[in-house]
């Protein structure tokens, strides 16, 4: 069990974090093109609710966020396409960077390519994704996140335009060769729910410290 330390006069009281009375108000903001970041955000929210957090999930494409003052923890997620974060969640980081500097922040990205590189044992390429899309993303907006998450994503032929379906054909063959199977026709979901759970449970502990 994790304990928080409170100082009362000359006595330190060790209060189990699970005994914290108020729920930590948490905002999850995400942007998605193909749907993976929405599903991962819902999964993170479900786990945080189990951990007794109060959670609001916002799709930055559908809802404009005006004010984040009520939240203690803010989690921001984006999906990668051609080496770029989803615009809406990147804009959120940019627009709220001053407010976020005062809060507990975690950021994550969805990348189907990450899962492929893991299977192929390409650790250097994986490190490059972590650096450019998580560490540098945080640095760009002067943030010091308590957690950075690199999760799998989806390759969904049904949602790709004609050109991407053709140009990504070779890449999709690599997914198949690496043992990824379609979860429904045209869709490969490489997300690892156990990995997302572990990350979220550790994040919950860090947020409460």
Is position 112 an interface residue for ligand FMN (rule: CB under 6 A)? yes
From the list 9, 67, 61, 55, the residue with the least C-alpha distance to 30 is 61
Considering only 29, 47, 57, 79, the residue that binds ligand FMN (CB under 6 A) is 79
- Minimum distance of ligand FMN from residue 75's CB (angstroms): 14
Helices and strands per DSSP (H, E), number in the chain: 9, 9
DSSP helix/strand/coil, 27: strand
Binder of ligand FMN out of 83, 121, 179, 185 (CB under 6 A):
83
Interface pick for ligand FMN out of 28, 29, 36, 126 (rule CB under 6 A): 36
Q: Is residue 160 a contact point for ligand FMN (CB under 6 A)?
A: yes
What is the distance between the alpha carbons of residues 162 and 142, in angstroms, rounded to a whole number? Answer: 38
# of chain residues touching ligand FMN (CB under 6 A): 23
The residue sitting closest to ligand FMN, measured at its beta carbon, is 79
Q: Which of 44, 45, 55, 80 binds ligand FMN (CB under 6 A)?
A: 80
Instruction: Please identify, using beta-carbon distances, which residue of 25 and 159 lies nearer to ligand FMN.
Output: 159
Q: Does 154 bind ligand FMN (CB under 6 A)?
A: yes
CA distances from 176 to 58, 72, 152 (A): 33, 42, 15
Q: What is the CA radius of gyration of the chain?
A: 19
* Residue 35 contacts ligand FMN per CB under 6 A: yes
107 binding ligand FMN? (CB under 6 A): no
Is 26 a binding residue for ligand FMN by CB under 6 A? The answer is no
Q: Which segments within the chain are labelled E, that is strand?
A: 3-8, 11-16, 25-30, 54-59, 73-79, 104-110, 147-151, 154-156, 187-189
At closest approach, how far in Å is the CB of 129 from ligand FMN? 6
Smaller CB distance to ligand FMN: residue 111 or 200?
111
According to DSSP, the residues that pair with 91 across neighbouring strands are none
Q: How far is CA 98 from CA 24, 28, 65, 75, 164, in A?
A: 20, 17, 15, 15, 37
The binding site for ligand FMN (CB under 6 A) comprises 32-37, 79-83, 110-114, 129, 153-155, 160, 164, 168
């Amino acid at each position: 069990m994790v304990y928080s330390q409170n100082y009362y006069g000359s006595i330190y009281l060790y209060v189990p974090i699970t005994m914290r009375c108020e729920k930590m108000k948490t905002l999850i903001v995400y942007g998605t093109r193909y749907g993976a970041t929405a599903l991962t955000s819902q999964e993170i929210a479900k786990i945080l609710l189990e951990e007794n957090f109060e959670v609001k999930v916002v799709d930055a494409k559908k809802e404009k966020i005006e004010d984040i003052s009520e939240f203690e923890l803010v989690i921001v997620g984006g999906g990668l396409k051609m080496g770029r974060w989803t615009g809406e969640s990147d804009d959120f980081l940019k627009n709220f960077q001053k407010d976020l500097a005062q809060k507990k922040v975690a950021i994550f990205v969805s990348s189907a390519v990450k899962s492929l590189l893991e299977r192929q044992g390409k650790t250097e390429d994986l490190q490059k994704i972590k650096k450019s899309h998580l560490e540098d993303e945080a640095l760009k907006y002067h943030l010091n996140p308590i957690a950075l998450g690199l999760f799998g994503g989806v390759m969904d032929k049904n949602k790709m335009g004609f050109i991407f379906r053709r140009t990504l054909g070779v890449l999709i063959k690599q997914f198949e060769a690496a043992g990824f199977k379609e979860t429904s026709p045209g869709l490969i979901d490489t997300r690892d729910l156990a990995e997302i759970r572990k990350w979220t449970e550790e994040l919950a502990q860090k947020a409460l410290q």
